[in-house]
Amino acid sequence: MNQKNILKNGLLFVLLCLVFACQAPKKETGLSSIDALIPKPQSVTKTTGDFEITDKTAIYVGNGAEESIAIASYLAEKLKPATGFDLPVSVASGQPTTNSIVLMKSDDSQLGEEGYELTITQDQIKLTAPHAAGLFRGVQTIRQLLPAAIENTELQKGVEWEIPTGTIRDFPNYAYRGMMLDVARHFFSVEDVKRLIDEMAYYKLNVFHWHLSDDQGWRIEIKSWPNLTKFGGSTEVGGGKGGFYTQEQYKDVVKYAAERYITVIPEIDMPGHTNAALASYPELNCSEQTIKLNPGNEVKRKVPGLYSGIEVGFSTLCTSKEITYQFIDDVVRELAEMTPGPYLHIGGDESHATKKEDYIPFVKKVQEIVVKHGKKVVGWDEIATSTLQPNSMAQVWAKAENGKLAIAQGAKLIMSPAKKMYLDMSYDSTSKLGLHWAAYIEVDSAYAWDPATLVKGISRENVYGVESALWSETIQTRADIDYLTFPRLPGHAEIGWSASPDGTEGSRSWEEYKLRLATFGPRMKAMGINFYKSKLVPWVE
Ligand code: TNX
């Protein structure tokens, strides 16, 4: 054949393939579940066959540790509604054999704090991990290996609850994989927060960052400063009634998260983003404030009123008053007392109303207060313009330069670049929810990048982890949270958990990932998640 003919035949072949593919019936199931896991495990070895969960399946824990029993019971509970099976959980005496799911602690320390190994044969599922957190992460893999119908809350008849056989060995790339929810711009109930925590757990996230205060609302009860919630908690963006969490509710959420091996990091944003506090306690203001709501619309008054707009950067605590630090000390003390996790987030972003020469010593002082109360500091990237405490971390959202300042001080970074990880950015110009000051973020753009190569001068060893951020100016309901969060969060979860094939942006393949994500359509649907049905994803029906 001459060159022309080769070209002609090649073209014909491509054309035929295209026509054929167009006419092929839509695949119903997409990839096998073991090929579709999100986040992608470090290693998967498939064998042929299936393990089937039946009403005779028993769950065993290999040793009596209370935590393992709790995780096994969590699994049984997750399996119950759709299958109708009430699988017994018990401590194994001897070697459990056929038709069993076994959870066991191992001394495979290579797997680290959250790693696990899953060995599935036709007779048995064996989940082992050196720590309880690993067993819990492995249970999420078991859920994802089952048919999507497993996530229904109603009984599903006629489904074979099969899991493909093979071995999965898995552990996270980054130690910190978080999500932030802003409950200040709009308030969300304890129930909504718990649901989000459940959704995070499914994708193996391990940090819930709770943005508890801002200009529009103060959402956490502080017993020594009761007006914060009494006044500051009484509104939200758009003028709705707002709300706040009692300390009991806060502790309940912390416990709920801990049962899912998720650490809560509470944030009190300061010195800016503090209008709700300033309106609640006049003494936190400097004598007179110029409140800039819009350029050309400047108001001078002693104490600001409550605020329900969405402008940023107009408020500041009075950094020169002693009472301000008494206030912060009390807030940090009460928060630290009910937060078992190691970190408190001090905000520090967009303090445009604070003079630079006041901001720098302020951030330094606040870190000292946090450390005095036994916690480490996380703050938005701006805090790196001050002197950081040895264990403080900077969360890079806007300025990579600030990230580099933090690195130069020996600090680690949490990567939340707004152009990639801000879940409040709209998908495209037709999206009805969200803002777009940083970017429109379609599902592919949220996924195909790498935190260790995004910015020159910030590399793998500087990055402690990644965090998705959901600001709530434009969202009010659980369905709204879902819509902006899904399906971008699974992609972010993978960026945090799964090492990108060769550490470069290009090696995280959207073309490969989108086929896996497509199989999560039915899963999200079964979970009742109001996700955005991006046209870029070949959703499985
Ligand atoms: C910037 S990100 C903010 C928030 C807004 C958000 C809206 C950051 C540290 N500050 O106050 O809610 O943009 O996208």
Q: List pLDDT tens digits, range 423-441.
A: 999 999 999 999 999 999 9
Owner of token pair 């945090």: 496
| 314 pocket-lining for ligand 1 (C-beta < 6 Å) | no
**Is it the case that residue 336 has pLDDT exceeding 70?**
yes
| 467 pocket-lining for ligand 1 (C-beta < 6 Å) | no
pLDDT averaged over every residue in the chain: 92
Owner of token pair 């309880």: 132
**What percent of the chain clears pLDDT 70, i.e. is strictly above it?**
90
Query: How far apart are alpha carbons 32 and 163 in whole angstroms?
Result: 10
Could you confirm whether 350 is annotated as catalytic? yes
Q: b or e along 424-462 (b: 16 or more beta carbons within 10 Å of the residue's beta carbon)? A: bbbbeeebebbeeebeebbbbbbbbbbbbbbbeebeeeb
307, 340 Cβ separation under 8 angstroms? no
Same CATH fold assignment for domains 33-170 and 176-526: no
Query: How far apart are alpha carbons 127 and 533 in whole angstroms?
Result: 34
User: CATH says 33-170 is which class?
Assistant: alpha beta
Report the run of H or E that residue 208 belongs to, with start and end. strand 207-211
**What percent of the chain clears pLDDT 90, i.e. is strictly above it?**
87
Taking the centre of ligand 1 as the mean of its atom positions, its distance from the CA of residue 438, in whole angstroms, is 10
pLDDT at res. 64: 62
| Residue nearest ligand 1's atom 13 by CA | 471
Nearest alpha carbon to residue 74 among 186, 165, 201, 173: 201
Taking the centre of ligand 1 as the mean of its atom positions, its distance from the CA of residue 275, in whole angstroms, is 15
Q: Of the ranges 173-177, 239-243, 296-300, 473-477, which one carries the lowest mean pLDDT score? A: 296-300
pLDDT (mean) for 180-204: 98
pLDDT at res. 265: 99
Taking the centre of ligand 1 as the mean of its atom positions, its distance from the CA of residue 471, in whole angstroms, is 7
pLDDT at res. 27: 43
| 349 pocket-lining for ligand 1 (C-beta < 6 Å) | yes
Domain ranges of the chain: 33-170, 176-526
**Is it the case that residue 505 has pLDDT exceeding 70?**
no
Coil, strand or helix at 11: helix
* Bridge partners, 52 (sequence order): 162
* Bridge partners, 422 (sequence order): 469
**Is it the case that residue 3 has pLDDT exceeding 70?**
no
The model's pLDDT over 100-139, given as tens digits with 9 standing for 90+, comes to 999 999 999 999 999 999 999 999 999 999 999 999 999 9
| 269 pocket-lining for ligand 1 (C-beta < 6 Å) | no
pLDDT at res. 207: 99
| 215 pocket-lining for ligand 1 (C-beta < 6 Å) | no
CA of 347, closest atom in ligand 1: 9
CB atoms inside a 10 Å sphere around CB 158: 5
303, 282 Cβ separation under 8 angstroms? yes
Q: Which numeric CATH code is attached to 176-526?
A: 3.20.20.80
Look at strands 161-170 and 116-120 and give their pairing. antiparallel
CA of 424, closest atom in ligand 1: 14
Record the pTM: 0.92
Positive or negative, the Cα torsion across 32, 33, 34, 40? positive
| 380 pocket-lining for ligand 1 (C-beta < 6 Å) | yes
| Residue nearest ligand 1's atom 7 by CA | 471
320, 286 Cβ separation under 8 angstroms? yes
pLDDT at res. 21: 45
Q: To 5 degrees, how large is the angle CA 66–CA 72–CA 75?
A: 145
Query: How far apart are alpha carbons 489 and 200 in whole angstroms?
Result: 8
What is the distance in angstroms between the CA of the first residue and the CA of the last residue of the chain?
Answer: 44
**Is it the case that residue 9 has pLDDT exceeding 80?**
no
Confidence of residue 93 (pLDDT cuts 50, 70, 90): confident
Mutate which of 275, 312, 352, 435 for ligand 1? The one with the most ligand atoms within 8 Å of its CB, which is 312
- CA diameter of the chain: 89
Instruction: Give the residue, 223 or 296, on which the prediction is more confident.
Output: 223
| 350 pocket-lining for ligand 1 (C-beta < 6 Å) | yes
Q: Which residue in the list 114, 236, 350, 494 is annotated as catalytic? A: 350
Mutate which of 311, 349, 415 for ligand 1? The one with the most ligand atoms within 8 Å of its CB, which is 349
pLDDT (mean) for 323-348: 98
Query: How far apart are alpha carbons 152 and 166 in whole angstroms?
Result: 25
